[in-house]
Structure 1
């Protein structure tokens, strides 16, 4: 069995203040490319991973993916009491710690493959609890299940009492409170500069602990912006309003902190992309991936994206929203 997962843009966390009894909350978008494609077969014992295109994968990816596959598989074996082993083959991958949610997609794909091979069909929410994903944001889990433009409602403070990233949180995935199809004629351009990868691990935990709680007025401003500008813009296919909201979000709430912790190149690239005519420019999660959303001038935006990284290196990907979840093949 083969699973092809989408990737996701994490636009912003909503409430890292918690005065009303909930924390986190997230806004995100599922995208077609890049993706992870992984297949699995039963084995006599143990967990093994092979890569079909080793030479095309960046340094560090093989070790990161192997470790995450083994970790997710071990959790599934323990939770579901499986006795056989599994062999995994990674056919397509994208860099970890790039802001595109590879950890959640890879872990869910592993869990889905293992449970389906054992005759079990579990929803992504249940798989996420098994493999320990979704402890801060529900965007990646819903992207795997249904895709689209997603808003999650965060965690009740009784279930999660401190400000922590998903990697350090044992909370269950939060509820999805809104999900819309994203306009298919809007194009998404990813710029992934060759700079230090986004904040992760202990640095990410430190960022949450140092900068939270966020001031209540910042959270209120962001919530108003999401409810009365960003969400209606998606529903009404209003690109100008959507772009305006995304651009304001970059300097609001915890997203402002995420941007401040980045390389100086990130701010420069974002400014150049806006000047090229992209309606919306933002950084996904802790970066370094920058996304631009546009419609008729996509060639101009792609050209500017490539120019913006010519001195530092990196990758530019033209893609689009994905209004469905992971694909499954026999």
Structure 2
């Protein structure tokens, strides 16, 4: 039996949904220590998946794409991730199942090869890189001639973009509010891309400037204040601005509260509704966690966690029986 423990991730922003320079997408993200997805796997005659029904469908499809002819696998989802909230559950589910098949049957495929096989990373490469190596990730998107459209990962069929920059993330506590509601997904997500893209070039240039000359130097110098300012700037420019505008008021209230009460930066992950705040100490984090939990309890419901970055990829433990 093998066990696969894969991380969730924060998707901080997509970079270029204008494509005037010939590339599209690109993004920045942070791999998280928790919550995570855990499954155990053994060889079987058919495909069997036990546990979370939504993720089970994705795992079954991923296993089908990798399994040698006539072979099967038994997957038990021991710990699940909430679906369609902005934590990247779809990519982690598909890659976890694929990695289990890869390990059990000795296929020898890389994480990127697995991602291509199961059709993940067609817009953002952050989830794939999080599974592979963890940490803070900046990816370079795709050639627009290859992709030929502005579209989300679920509707894209190109390989993950190249990782331009990967670095261990500092030990800054991260407050993670997970409301009991869903973000935009499936057909609605495709429609949002069609509605808002291409993003004005001036906004893409502004965002690129913030990433190159504020966020990345702040990360290297471990300057939390400047890193937080970059996070805050993301929420008011580019495609992220449109994602933020789609959020229900309680989500926006929590993001604003975090920013005004100790978080150096706060934002929405992907299409939300997950809200994150990055703070300087565990004490500050616990205070924000408590208040954000109260705000959720009085509105949408949900759970607030205190976590940190995970500076390694998925863990594969054990081996074939």
Question: Shorter-chain TM-score category?
Answer: over 0.9
Q: Secondary structure at the match of 1:141?
A: helix
2:303 is the alignment partner of 1:315: yes
1:191 to 168, 173, 177: 177
1:114-133 aligned at under 5 Å gives the runs 114-133=101-120
State the distance in 1 between where 2:35 and 2:260 align.
25
Say if 1:273 and 1:304, in contact at 8 Å, map to a contact too.
no
* Long gaps (5+) in structure 1: 52-61
- C-alpha distance in structure 1 between counterparts of 2:212 and 2:69, whole Å: 44
Map 1:153-302; keep pairs closer than 5 Å. Answer: 153-184=140-171, 186-195=172-181, 197-296=182-281, 297-302=284-289
In the alignment, is residue 16 of structure 1 matched against residue 1 of structure 2? Answer: no
2:83 aligns with 96
**Cα distance in 1 for residues equivalent to 2:278 and 2:191:** 31
Are the equivalent residues in 1 in contact too, given 2:178–2:274 (CA < 8 A)? yes
The equivalent of 2:64 in structure 1 is 74
Deviation, structure 1 residue 63: 2.2
RMSD: 0.9
With the length of structure 2 as denominator, give the TM-score of the two structures: 0.96
Please say if 1:49 is aligned against 2:49.
Answer: yes
State the shift of 1:121 in Å. 2.6
Q: How many residues are aligned here?
A: 314
Shift of 1:40: 1.0
Q: In the TM superposition, what whole-angstrom CA distance separates every residue of 1:164-191 from its partner, at most 9, and x where no partner exists?
A: 000000011110000111002x001100
Question: How far is 1:159 from its partner?
Answer: 1.3
Partner residue of 1:58?
Answer: none
2:29 corresponds to: 28
Deviations 1:26-74 (A, max 9, x none): 0000011000001111112x211113xxxxxxxxxx2211211111111
Following superposition, the deviation at residue 268 of structure 1 comes to 1.1
Gaps of 5+ in 2: none
How many Å separate the matches in 1 of 2:61 and 2:94?
8
- Equivalent residues of 1:276, 1:300 under 8 A apart: no
Q: Is the 8 A contact 1:272 1:308 kept in 2?
A: no
1:11 is displaced (CA, Å) by 0.2
Runs of 4+ in 1 over 2 A off after TM superposition: none
Does structure 1 retain, via aligned residues, the 8 Å contact 2:286–2:306? no
Distance apart, 1:202 and its partner CA: 0.3
